[in-house]
């Protein structure tokens, strides 16, 4: 049955709302005035939003349930009026996603940097899909981009769904939350999961919504400088051997490492030594040193070495794969300590 509020409409259209229910747009002839009606999932009238004839253009922000009306321009003045729509279901409002029931860690939670997974619990049974879940470290300078720590596609086999069919488990690399007293945000792309029942992509989580922070620095065990060898892939080895400025190649790798780990550039140095890999003669091994910390508040050389080793092992899921020189590292060979 059509609700009496719209039964005499000359023209109307119906659309579903993200947080449940329907939006009916009631139009009239010879005027740009519009009425909008909220109906619940059973078609019962709940509320009304109106715009007068002085408005000529309308839009709706579906994700947050807001209507936008633009008034007819007078002179150089343009007026915009935003009106929020009634939400029939407030589940997942803090994530701006009604399909999400909860996450671990929760929004604004302070975490141990050594956690090995995060989880998302959905309100309906889900399957993993092709889009990504990514973790970024927020930059202290709001005008600079966040630093990618890891990114994993739902169907990469690293993510799993629990026996309840509602909870997605996402592994965390040991290098991801490696900065103490820092803020991170988790971004979930649309179509990271799909509903089991309808096979439809579900909304994700926008950037800077699911924010978490790490605990302050704990003084760790001091370690002396550590030197190791990493291997370039065939493309990288060829590029290194053909360059006339091998020292510049080393320096470019160090600069990218310092941004990706992240760590002060002075903590990573090289003696410029290299050699062919005896187990893979077409590939080259490069030598790098992680210098010892000069302060108890800096991470030890061993921690930095291990972080870099994890980044190399998981190269395809980290920022190493997105940079010109670090992308030339062979992730199939570990960063091997030599002294």
Name every residue whose Cβ is closer than 8 Å to that of residue 14 and which is 6 or more positions away in sequence.
22, 23, 24, 25
d(Cα 15, Cα 65) in Å, to the nearest integer? 12
**Phi, psi of 254, rounded to the nearest 5 degrees:** -60, -45
Q: Give residue limits of the domains in the chain.
A: 11-84, 93-214, 226-337
What average pLDDT does this structure show over 183-211? Answer: 96
The more confident residue out of 41 and 133 is 133
Residues paired with 182 in a beta bridge: none
Is the predicted pLDDT of residue 141 greater than 80, yes or no? yes
Provide mean pLDDT across the span 170-183. Answer: 96
Residue 149 has a pLDDT of 98
According to the per-residue pLDDT averaged within each range, which of 84-98, 145-159, 292-306 is highest? Answer: 145-159
- Give the pLDDT confidence score for residue 5 in this predicted structure: 61
Mention every residue, 6+ apart, whose C-beta is less than 8 A from residue 292: 222, 223, 224, 225, 300, 301
**Residue whose entry in the numeric block shows the structure tokens 């978490």:** 212
Question: For residue 6, what are the CA distances in angstroms to 44, 49, 53, 168, 328?
Answer: 11, 13, 18, 42, 63
Confidence tier at 26 by pLDDT (50, 70, 90) = confident
3-state secondary structure at position 317: helix
- Half-sphere exposure of residue 191: CA atoms within 13 angstroms, side-chain side: 2
- The number of helices, as runs of H, and strands, as runs of E, in the chain is 3, 23
Angle, in degrees to the nearest 10, between helices 246-260 and 234-242: 140
Mean pLDDT in residue range 246-253: 97
Q: What percent of the chain has pLDDT over 90?
A: 73
With 0-12 / 13-18 / 19 or more C-beta atoms within 10 angstroms meaning exposed / middle / buried, residue 121 is middle
Q: Is the pLDDT of residue 164 over 60?
A: yes
82 in helix, strand or coil? strand
**Fold for domain 93-214?**
Immunoglobulin-like (2.60.40)
Q: How far apart are CA 189 and CA 134, in angstroms?
A: 8
CA distance 300 to 214: 18
pTM (predicted TM-score)? 0.85
Separation between Cα atoms, residue 211 and residue 263, nearest integer Å: 22
Residue 212: how many CB atoms within 10 A of its CB?
Answer: 21
């Amino acid at each position: 049955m059509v609700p009496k509020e719209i039964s005499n409409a000359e023209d109307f259209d119906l659309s579903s709302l993200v947080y449940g229910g329907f939006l009916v747009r009631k139009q009239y002839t010879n005027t740009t005035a519009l009425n909008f009606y909220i109906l619940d999932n059973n078609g019962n009238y709940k509320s009304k939003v109106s715009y007068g004839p002085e408005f000529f253009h309308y839009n709706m922000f579906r994700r947050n349930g807001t209507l936008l009306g633009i008034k007819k321009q007078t002179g150089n003045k343009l007026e915009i009026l935003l009106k929020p729509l009634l939400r029939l279901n407030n589940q997942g409002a803090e994530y701006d996603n009604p399909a999400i029931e909860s996450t671990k860690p929760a929004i604004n939670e302070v975490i141990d940097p050594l956690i090995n997974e995060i989880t998302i619990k959905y309100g309906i049974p889900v399957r993993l899909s092709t889009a990504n879940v990514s973790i970024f470290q927020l930059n202290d300078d709001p005008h600079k981009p966040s630093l990618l720590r890891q990114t994993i596609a739902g169907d990469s086999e690293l993510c799993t769904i629990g026996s309840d069919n509602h909870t997605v488990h996402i592994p965390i690399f040991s290098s991801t939350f490696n900065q103490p007293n820092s803020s991170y945000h988790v971004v979930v792309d649309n179509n990271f999961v799909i509903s089991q029942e309808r096979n439809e992509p579900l909304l994700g989580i926008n950037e800077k919504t699911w924010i978490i922070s790490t605990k302050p620095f704990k003084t760790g065990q001091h370690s002396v400088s550590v030197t190791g060898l990493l291997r370039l892939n065939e493309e990288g080895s060829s590029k290194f051997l053909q360059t006339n400025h091998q020292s510049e190649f080393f320096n470019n790798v160090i600069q990218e490492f310092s941004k990706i780990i992240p760590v002060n550039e002075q903590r990573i140095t090289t003696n410029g030594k290299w050699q062919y890999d005896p187990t893979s003669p077409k590939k080259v091994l490069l030598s790098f040193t992680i210098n010892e910390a000069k302060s108890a508040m800096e991470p030890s050389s061993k921690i930095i070495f291990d972080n870099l080793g994890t980044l190399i092992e998981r190269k395809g899921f980290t920022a190493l794969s997105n940079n010109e020189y670090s992308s030339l590292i062979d992730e199939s060979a570990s960063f091997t300590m030599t002294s």
